[in-house]
Homo-oligomer: A and B are copies of this chain.
Amino acid sequence: MGFLHEGHLSLMRVGRKVADTLVASIFVNPAQFGPGEDFDTYPRDLERDLQLLNQEGVDIVFTPDKSQLYPDNYQTYIKLDHLPHHLCGISRPVFFTGVATVVAKLFNIVKPHFVVFGEKDYQQLLIIRRMVQDLNMDIEIIGAPIVREADGLAMSSRNNYLTPEQRPAARTLYQSLTRATELVKNGVRDATRIIAEAQKIISAYSDAEIDYLAVCDPETLDNVQKIDNPALMALAVKIGGTRLIDNTILDPNR
């Protein structure tokens, strides 16, 4: 969706290693924004993006127009039965239909052999993997690790919305994940306890409003009670009007 940061550029570097021709798409996809969400105000800076992509050795930048991808009479959507009804999909019911659909369109236009997605959007990555497998798309999906700011905040174009005063509250997403990792390392297996600790860390800031905070199966996204196998801890928190997400894998064997 453009307004590139180091997280995006890390994807380009992964792509540059595996691909002969590296294509980046920049498209703020209206189909994945719900009513009242920030489609109109989503940050955009195409000139700067093109310069950054050029520096990363990207061969082709695809910047379609809204009306090219969604002409009048457009009516075809890709929907998944289960994975979207968890985590971000609960408060953003149209989001993953919009994501899956535009990604399938981009795949059909670009015809890539490999595609790189960031693990920050874990649920998105999982849904795209599932779609690719279910629809028999001959594409290899590569996940790239989360890139963080110096203070731990996961890179996101929406970080741009944060005021300096909101920054300490924004940092609690990563702080609660770090605390959870520590607890699991110390032998805690009870998801409820881990969630309660995270909740405490975040709720210390009055401008932080938790959307969800979950410990779940990394494949099905069903909630997990006891962390006997690697589990996904994922959270979404609104800081003022800015919705931030983050996640990590809690591995009891590590």
Q: Complex: how many Å from CA A103 to CA B9?
A: 36
Tell me if A's interface is mostly helix, strand, loop or mixed: mixed
Please give the distance in Å from A96's CB to the nearest CB on chain B: 11
- A136, B105: Cβ atoms closer than 8 Å: yes
Instruction: Tell me the count of chain A residues lying within 8 A, CB to CB, of chain B.
Output: 25
25 A–B contacts from the bound complex (CB under 8 Å): A74-B134, A75-B80, A75-B81, A75-B82, A75-B83, A75-B134, A76-B78, A76-B81, A76-B100, A76-B130, A76-B131, A76-B135, A77-B78, A77-B79, A77-B81, A78-B79, A79-B79, A105-B134, A105-B135, A105-B136, A108-B135, A108-B136, A108-B138, A109-B136, A111-B138
Q: Does A104 contact B (CB under 8 A)?
A: yes
Q: Complex: how many Å from CA A214 to CA B74?
A: 24
Collect the chain B residues with CB atoms within 8 Å of residue A130's CB.
75-76
**Residue among A78, A109, A134 with the highest chain B CB neighbour number at 10 A:** A134
